[in-house]
Amino acid sequence: AILFNFEMDSTNPFVLILAGLPHLQGKLRLNQHRPLDQRIIMRYRMGPLEKEEVAGYIEHRMKQAGAKHPIFTPSALEAIALQSRGWPRVINTLATTCLLYGYQLKKDAINEEVVRMAAEEMGY
């Protein structure tokens, strides 16, 4: 995420948060965008999650969605961490695909086999 702090005048300051893929920073450094780039007051680059963080991330997302009990087995969480290399977008897509497979297969819990099937489907 990139944080802009624009102060047009003293009575109307505003903050703009811009989020994008890594190539956004390269585009901002182009000559035609230099004035905008110079106004950036903070830059943050998110890296991949650690293996231990992936399980917490998925469990948090599942609780937010209303899950009352664990849906993914520990081995499934480990397989997702391995397949996704910790990238949140890949984790989200892989976990969603696992949930769809689990539903189709009438599974009570998502196990490592379901993760393997979903990863194959996604080309991982």
Query: Is the pLDDT higher at 62 or at 24?
Result: 62
Query: Is the pLDDT higher at 3 or at 35?
Result: 35
Instruction: Report how many domains make up the chain.
Output: 2
Q: Tell whether 58 and 114 lie within a shared domain.
A: yes
Confidence of residue 58 (pLDDT cuts 50, 70, 90): very high
Coil/strand/helix, residue 78: helix
The least confident of 5-14, 35-44, 90-99 is 5-14
End-to-end CA distance of the chain: 27
pLDDT of residue 16: 75
Q: Tell whether 63 and 105 lie within a shared domain.
A: yes
Q: Tell whether 36 and 63 lie within a shared domain.
A: no
The parent domain of residue 27 ranges over 2-43
Q: Tell whether 12 and 67 lie within a shared domain.
A: no
Q: Is 3's pLDDT higher than 80?
A: no
How far apart, in whole angstroms, are the C-alpha atoms of residue 30 and residue 69? 49
Q: Tell whether 57 and 111 lie within a shared domain.
A: yes
Q: Tell whether 80 and 111 lie within a shared domain.
A: yes
pLDDT of residue 74: 97
Tokens standing for residue 95:
């976990």
Query: Is the pLDDT higher at 28 or at 98?
Result: 98
Handedness of CA 72, 75, 76, 78 (dihedral sign): positive
Q: Tell whether 14 and 56 lie within a shared domain.
A: no
Containing 62, the helix (H) or strand (E) segment is: helix 51-64
Question: How confident is the model over 28-51, as pLDDT tens digits?
Answer: 889 998 888 887 878 888 889 999
Question: How confident is the model over 115-124, as pLDDT tens digits?
Answer: 999 999 999 8
How far apart, in whole angstroms, are the C-alpha atoms of residue 65 and residue 39? 38
Question: How confident is the model over 102-113, as pLDDT tens digits?
Answer: 999 999 999 999
How far apart, in whole angstroms, are the C-alpha atoms of residue 60 and residue 74? 15
